[in-house]
Structure 1
Amino acid sequence: MSMKAVTSWALAGVALAAVALPARAADATLTIESWRNDDLPIWQEKIVPAFEKSHPGIKLNFQPTAPKEYNAALNSKLDAGTAGDIIACRPFDASLDLFKKKELTSVNDIPGMNNFGPVAKAGWSTDDGATTFCVPVAAVLHGFIYNKDAFKKVGIATPPATADEFFADLDKIKKDGTYVPLAMGTPDQWEAATMGYQVIGPNYWHGEDGRKALIAGKEKLTDPEWVEPFRQLARWAPYMGDGFKAQSYPDSQNMFTLGRAAIYPAGSWEIAQFESQAQFPMGAFPAPVPKAGDPCYLSDHVDIAFGMNPKTKSPEAAKAFLTWVASPDFAKLYSNALPGFFSLQTQPIDVENPLAKEFVSFRKDCKSTIRSTYQILSRGTPNLENETWVESANVINGTDTPEQAAAKLQKGLDSWYHPAK
């Protein structure tokens, strides 16, 4: 065989080998759209390097937008065909609308989706639960953060477990006079609902059972289990300090971190900021149950997920990323990189931050539920979520009774929402 023939055979062999080798999911760069611009350093320093190390050939470009601008900016990019490959998904209707417009794909077949239960998937699934279109990432948990020095000073040995114990402890703190018992105001309204009504309420309407019954039209907001949380909330007012009607959300944060208040009705997203500012030890406790022995329910609210842009030019790489997001390795990395944002996977994650660990321990004894207004019930006008903010503040301010607040909310809902009976 001539040298020319040998060379031809060799070249043919190289060509065949090149055809036979699978294309590396590789040499792809995935752009990730997100509203969490505060997370940029954590992505650059921890998350991106971890993914790229385990997925050679795929690069990540985390490209966040300011939270208030995200929805509009994302929609514009999707319309123009310039959106990234991976989309950070807000829970419920905003992402459901994207899926209906075929701007997100089903993730039912992504390996690892069996790591998530129905509550975790609820924020990014069709109303019938048949199709999930984003891989759940994290939830925020709710309860109360307290100043351990304050509790020690007034003689509270253990955090309250029941409503009666909660108010008895507030009385002790108020009588002592050193601290404002509860750091919360009402002018911004949303805290009264999000860290008030929606935190204590699930213990009365029994979490997912009550939420789903409300959606099905089997329960009403004027039923006792929905009115009682407003009655409890109305009792907070004497413990919130003299100026609570003018006290903004940042004012409440500062009041607590400066050591002037004993208890802060909280979302777990406060953990990192509070730990960087407070000069005293902190603890956390879940919403007190109505009476000893009652079941405990936890506002375990779905917050962020990731989905795939159907127009991505690197679908295999995008699926590889989503598969990683669905893995326990990612869950542990994300939960510990961002204390207070907790994995939605069913298997417990070993959380390292002590205060975050205390929050996540609530899941052991309490059944998880999401905020009652978020799925389906805030699609019309008046918007039940926004109206619940208003009425929660009104009840604390004393401008509406609990019964009046419940009646207004139900009347607004009845004006546009007609569940099939």
Structure 2
Amino acid sequence: MLKRLTEFTLAALLIVSMLATGAFAATTLKIESWRNDDSDIWTDTIIPAFSKKHPDIKIIFTPMPPAEYNAGLNAKLAGGTAGDLITCRPFDASLEMFNKGYIVDLNDLAGMKEFSDVAKSAWQTDDGNSTFAVPMASVIHGFIYNKEIFEELGLSIPTTETEFFTVLEKIKADGNYTPLSLGTADQWEAATMGFQNIGPNYWKGEEGRKALIAGTAKLTDAPYVNTWKQLAKWAPYMGKGFKAQKYPDSQNLFTLGRAVIYPAGSWDITTFNTQADFKFGAFPPPLPEGATKGYISDHTDIALGLNAASPNKEAARLFLEWLSTPEFAELYANSLPGFFPLSNHKVSLKDPVAQEFINWRNTHESTIRNSYQILSRGNPNLENQLWNVSSQVINGTMTPEDAAKETQAGLEKWYKPQQ
């Protein structure tokens, strides 16, 4: 009896000891994501960095193919088999998950104070009262240019639109290069790297974007018409055959050294790093004449939410808090040049072009693409309309005024504040 009692006591002491050292506190968190292109970065860099601080929390990154993510994730959430942490795309798809109760409100997460209202806007309810994902990264729009050709032709970085067109004219006059590498065949580039790139300087970023949502501004107003007028002026500098030119063609034209300036999304940095054998840099959208303040499209791209059905919420919240730290911001930004942390921490980037892009946050006001929040929920979809009319304006088959009328009429068909 004494022997059994001693064995029982020893076993109990062992259990208490193991609990004290965290052996029984070990938790496994599963992350759902569509980013199957960066799984190595998560498994080799990001997760090990977190694990050093929390060795008792094991994290498994389980991506799906991007095109299958929304449907696959919704099926898992409905069936109760989804992971603990949910990678969230911006705006409506994630908002729907929150409204269905699949992901939780994270307003009480201490790290949320590290993010601006613009950074959080893609993962909030329409009234801004609930934030349901921790913002991770954005992409920034601007222009990437061939430094070697700029030096060869004696060109300076343009800061105003007048200077921009002077540079384009000089490149065209030289005759050896295409001034501007952009095509309209895929349509989306005309809106994303054209309209949404230079437009914030006209509609004053968030001020104008929110005015469209409120119905106090219209797409027929001068800021939008003037944006399309500027786009129309790009056509003579885009080279022969630009109407049949697709997105990969534009990338190739630039990386082969045959085009000088590329209207860019910062995500192109990695592609150009691997394909271009020349030095390149970046400059922000040149200011319209008379403007003294610059705006950039610093578009929210990816965030992480917490599954309401997760049995490991405490451990998951620790990871979400870590996402708001300077350590994560620097790790993520340096692992994926061109994807920029959305927290307010200043980070030092190893990639010089990525650093140029992120420096603009110090001199320009950030905004997001004006069609992404609320305004593309109806039929016709404003985002798709912008693709179509922006490409037509550049092609010369639609006037800026008609582009404004068509998109405004589309919005008025279904969006009450614009009726």
Q: TM-score range by the shorter chain?
A: over 0.9
2:365 maps to which residue? Answer: 367
Amino acid aligned to 1:129: G
Deviation at 1:403, TM superposition (A): 0.2
SS of aligned partner of 1:37 = coil
CA distance in 1, matches of 2:4, 2:47: 48
Deviation at 1:276, TM superposition (A): 0.8
Q: Which residue of 1 aligns with 2:296?
A: 298
List gaps (5 residues or longer) in structure 1. none
2:56 is the counterpart of 1:71 = no
- Distance in 2 of aligned mates of 1:26 and 1:239: 63
Relative distance call for 1:26 and 1:230 in structure 2 (3 A) is: farther
Corresponding residue SS for 2:38: helix
- Give the superposition deviation at 1:155: 1.4
Taking the aligned partners of 2:22 and 2:365, their CA distance within structure 1 comes to: 45
The one-character-per-residue Cα deviations of 1:25-67 (angstroms, maximum 9, x if unpaired) are: 9421111111111101111211121112221111111111111
Q: CA deviation at 1:382?
A: 0.2
Q: Is the 8 A contact 1:373 1:385 kept in 2?
A: yes
Equivalences for residues 102-117 of structure 1 within 5 A: 102-117=101-116
Say if 1:277 and 1:16 are closer, same or farther in 2 by CA, change over 3 A. Answer: closer
Partner in structure 1 of residue 321 of structure 2: 323
| Identity in percent | 57
Report the equivalent of 2:34. Answer: 35
What is the match of residue 182 of structure 1?
180
Identify the match of residue 312 of structure 1 among 310, 313, 320: 310
Question: Which secondary structure does the structure 1 equivalent of 2:59 belong to?
Answer: strand
Distance 1:235 1:273 in 2: 28
Q: 1:368 to 1:185 in 2, by over 3 A?
A: same
1:285 to 283, 293, 306: 283
Aligned residue among 267, 270, 274 for 1:269? 267
Report if the CA contact (8 A) 2:46-2:331 is conserved.
yes
Deviations 1:261-312 (A, max 9, x none): 0000000001111011101110100000102552100100000000011111
Structure 2 unaligned segments of length 5 or more: list them.
none
Q: Is the 8 A contact 1:103 1:310 kept in 2?
A: yes
Q: Deviations over 1:156-202 (max 9, x none)?
A: 0x210001000110000000011100001001000000000001000
- Measured at CA, do residues 19 and 353 of structure 1 come closer, stay the same or move farther in structure 2, by a change above 3 Å? closer
Give 1:399 deviation, angstroms. 0.9
Select 2:208's aligned residue among 200, 210, 219: 210
Query: 1:91, 1:138 → 2: CA distance?
Result: 11
Report what 2:226 is aligned to.
228
| TM-score, structure 2 as length reference | 0.96
Within 5 Å, which residues of 2 pair with 1:133-152?
Answer: 133-152=132-151
Deviation at 1:10, TM superposition (A): 4.4
Question: How far 1:393 sits from its partner (Å)?
Answer: 0.3
CA contact 1:137–1:344 (8 Å) conserved in 2: yes
* Match of residue 125 from structure 1: 124
Which residue pairs with 2:356 in the alignment?
358
Aligned residue pairs total 419
Partner of residue 54, structure 2: 55
Alignment match, 1:92: 91
8 Å Cα contact 2:98/2:132 also seen in 1: yes
1:412 and 2:401 matched: no
**Secondary structure, aligned partner of 2:123:** coil
1:83: Cα distance to partner?
1.1
> 1:285, 1:99 → 2: CA distance?
38
CA contact (8 A) 1:32 1:63 kept: yes
Any idea what SS the aligned residue of 2:240 has? coil
Query: 2:398 & 2:23 partners in 1: Cα distance?
Result: 63
- Aligned partners of 1:242 and 1:320: how far apart in 2? 54
Tell me the SS of whatever aligns to 1:311: coil
Detail structure 1 runs of 4+ shifted over 6 Å in the superposition: 22-25
Counterpart amino acid of residue 132 in structure 2: F
Amino acid in the other structure paired with 1:237: A
In structure 2, C-alpha distance between the alignment counterparts of 1:191 and 1:25, rounded to whole Å: 52
Contact in 1 for aligned 2:137/2:339 (Cα 8 Å): yes
Query: 1: CA distance between counterparts of 2:144 and 2:163?
Result: 16
RMSD: 2.0
Measure, in 1, the Cα distance between the counterparts of 2:42 and 2:377: 33
Distance 1:148 1:25, change over 3 A: farther
Judge which range, 345-354 or 127-136, deviates more. Answer: 345-354
Q: Is the 8 A contact 1:186 1:192 kept in 2?
A: yes
Q: For the residues of structure 1 that align with 2:23 and 2:180, how far apart are their CA atoms? A: 56
TM (normalized to structure 1)?
0.95
The residue type paired with residue 31 of structure 1 is K
Q: What is the distance in 2 between the residues matched to 1:118 and 1:25?
A: 39
Rate the CA distance shift 1:25–1:375 in 2: closer, same or farther, 3 A.
farther
**Mapped contact 1:198–1:371 kept (Cα < 8 A):** yes
Structure 1 equivalent of residue 381 of structure 2 = 383
CA contact (8 A) 2:330 2:349 kept: yes
1:306-345 alpha-carbon deviations (Å, 9 max, x no partner): 0011111211111111111121111111111111000101
Contact 1:395 1:405 in 2 (8 A): yes
Quick check: 1:26–1:56 contact (8 Å CA) kept in 2? no
